Amino acid sequence: MARKRREISNRMLLVWLTLAGCILLLAPQKITGKFQGAFTHAFRFPLRLGRSVTLSARIKNTSDYDSQRTIQQYENHIANLAAELEQKNRQLEALAKIRYRQHGLEGAALVVADVITANLSGPRNELLINRGQNDGLRLDQFVLGENSIIGTISYVWAKQARVKLITDSSSRLAVIPIKSGQKPVWMFGAGDGQAVIRWAKAEPGLWEKVLVQAYPGRLDCPMITGRVSECKRNDKNALLWDITVRPDCDVAMLGSVTVIVTDTSR
Amino acid sequence: MHWLRFVALLLVATLLQADLLNAIEVAGIKPDLHLILLALFAIFCEPREAIITSFSIGLTADLIGPSMGPGTLSFGLLGCGLCYLSKYISLRRMLFQAVAIFVLGFTTAVFAYLLSLFQTQPAYPKSLGAFLGTPLYSAIVGPFLFLPIAWWMHIRIQRRHSRRRSNY
């Protein structure tokens, strides 16, 4: 007996596919994000190749770029050391008899990871890196780029992880603006490569440093994260300031990042 | 429709779109290969093929995009819309094709952004570059890519036009 072939009409096909799209739209992003993760994991080699080609195309003069990058790294390192020194001095003044570690990252393992893809436009600013749970990465660990804090781990797979950048719209970090002696304030990601500090009480100078405050167990001393790029009075209260912060390194140009793995016992 | 060729083409376009096209970006704006493919298949394919290809292109655009869902729906529905519209409007000239890509790009970007507002973390960009820059760049590049893609997909652009002309 010949089997009758069922034909679905175009209209039904459109309805079914639209329904499938709606399910995908309304499904929790944690679940649908796994599809994206699986795709990038499956095609990580061509994606990484594409990124290296892009980077090499962007860098027109390699020696100039290398020297600029080195200077930037040293500047950030000096800024980190200065912040650390200042913190140590304050601690020394208050707790002169207590012993503490010499270096903020002394107890941490630093895991270097290659950037697979970078999403830097719009409200979601993320990197996908090629290290994961197997390398000791856990949620909320800080990530360094050119010696400055660029974000935190937001999702971990076995061999990959997603880094939520400080400019991501869902990012929130306690930072110490301008002078490390001030009280920490919240810095919120604003998307498109920017973060904002709202309702600051003092006006900072342009290009002044912004430091992430120490998070015990995750970051032992303040570290530089960005610089003030714009400062304007708050629309509602003229006594307060809205500060725009830009990351201290060009995240789009990063080929690799470093994850601060503090809990090395795992 | 040669579906295996379509899958290969879509995969290559997605991998190029993910990072490699950043090499030719101008002022942070790069062409959208998915949009160009969407326009090509919507204009030159039969409605049934256009429906399937539109949703598939949208799905792969979402795989490398900020979140899943908005791209699938916007590409799928607007691709189908263009397909039905192309029955009544002749898009033979490159200029018309470029305009079609631009309008399609603008509407998909706006529609995807509006759809993303239904999600818990809206992640689609709402910048001028996303709404106008990318469609404009794609509209400039797109018509030139139509011929090689049509050759690869064995789509006879001319035949469809002549058939359409005979209908009138």
Q: What is the DSSP string of A29-73?
A: HHHHHHHHHHHHHHTHHHHHHHHHHHHHHH-SSHHHHHHHHHHHH
Element (DSSP H or E) covering residue A79: helix A62-94
Q: What is the pLDDT of residue A5?
A: 60
Q: Which of A22, A55, A121 to mutate to test the interface with B (most CBs of B within 10 A)?
A: A121
Upper half-sphere CA count for residue A130 (Cβ side, 13 Å): 14
| Residue A239 burial (C-beta neighbours within 10 Å; 0-12, 13-18, 19+) | exposed
Distance CA B70, CA B76 (A): 10
Chain B partners of A45 at a C-beta cutoff of 8 Å?
none
Domain chopping of chain B, boundaries:
29-167
Q: What is the pLDDT of residue A239?
A: 79
pLDDT along chain B (168 residues), means of 10: 89 86 78 92 89 93 87 92 86 86 92 86 72 89 89 72 44
Q: Do residue A46 and residue B15 have CB atoms under 8 angstroms apart?
A: yes
For B80, name the nearest residue in chain A, comparing CA atoms only. A14
Q: Do residue B23 and residue A117 have CB atoms under 8 angstroms apart?
A: no
| DSSP category for residue A12 | H
Q: Which of B68, B87, B113 to mutate to test the interface with A (most CBs of A within 10 A)?
A: B68
Structural class in CATH, domain B29-167: mainly alpha
Chain B partners of A172 at a C-beta cutoff of 8 Å?
none
Which residues of chain A are modeled with pLDDT < 50? 1, 97-102, 180, 266
Question: Cβ(B115)–Cβ(B68) under 8 Å?
Answer: no
Question: Cβ(A76)–Cβ(A248) under 8 Å?
Answer: yes
pTM of the model: 0.64
Beta strands in A99-251 (DSSP E): 109-119, 126-129, 142-145, 148-156, 161-165, 172-177, 185-191, 194-200, 209-212, 223-233, 241-247
Q: What is the pLDDT of residue B58?
A: 93
Q: Angle at CA A68, nearest 5°, toward A67 and A74?
A: 90
Q: What is the pLDDT of residue A232?
A: 85
Chain B partners of A35 at a C-beta cutoff of 8 Å?
63, 68
Q: Do residue B23 and residue A47 have CB atoms under 8 angstroms apart?
A: no
Q: How far is A235 from chain B (nearest CA, A)?
A: 22
Q: What is the pLDDT of residue B159?
A: 42
| DSSP category for residue A251 | G
Q: What tokens appear for A197 in the block?
A: 């500090």
Q: Do residue B73 and residue A118 have CB atoms under 8 angstroms apart?
A: no
Q: Angle at CA A84, nearest 5°, toward A216 and A109?
A: 55
Question: Cβ(A144)–Cβ(A129) under 8 Å?
Answer: no
Question: Cβ(A151)–Cβ(A137) under 8 Å?
Answer: no
ipTM of the complex: 0.83
Q: Do residue A122 and residue B68 have CB atoms under 8 angstroms apart?
A: no
Q: What is the pLDDT of residue A219?
A: 83
Residues of A with CB under 8 A from a CB of B: 10, 13-14, 17-18, 20-22, 24-29, 32-33, 35-36, 39-40, 43, 46-47, 50-51, 53-54, 57-58, 117-119, 121-124, 169-170, 191-192, 252
Distance CA A17, CA B77 (A): 9
Distance CA A114, CA A48 (A): 9
Domain chopping of chain A, boundaries:
44-266
Distance CA B8, CA A221 (A): 50
Q: Name residues whose C-beta falls within 8 Å of residue A204's C-beta, 6 or more positions apart in sequence.
A: A177, A178, A228, A231, A241, A243
Chain B partners of A33 at a C-beta cutoff of 8 Å?
67-68
Distance CA B65, CA A29 (A): 12
What are the φ/ψ torsions at residue A261 (nearest 5 degrees)?
-100, 100
Q: Which of B22, B56, B80, B120 to mutate to test the interface with A (most CBs of A within 10 A)?
A: B22
Distance CA A74, CA A68 (A): 10
Question: Cβ(A153)–Cβ(A259) under 8 Å?
Answer: yes
Question: Cβ(A165)–Cβ(A126) under 8 Å?
Answer: yes
CATH dotted code for A44-266 = 2.40.10.340
Q: What is the pLDDT of residue B88?
A: 85
* CB pairs A-B closer than 8 Å: 117
Distance CA B17, CA B135 (A): 14
Q: What is the pLDDT of residue A99?
A: 44
Q: Do residue B115 and residue A25 have CB atoms under 8 angstroms apart?
A: yes
Q: How far is A139 from chain B (nearest CA, A)?
A: 19
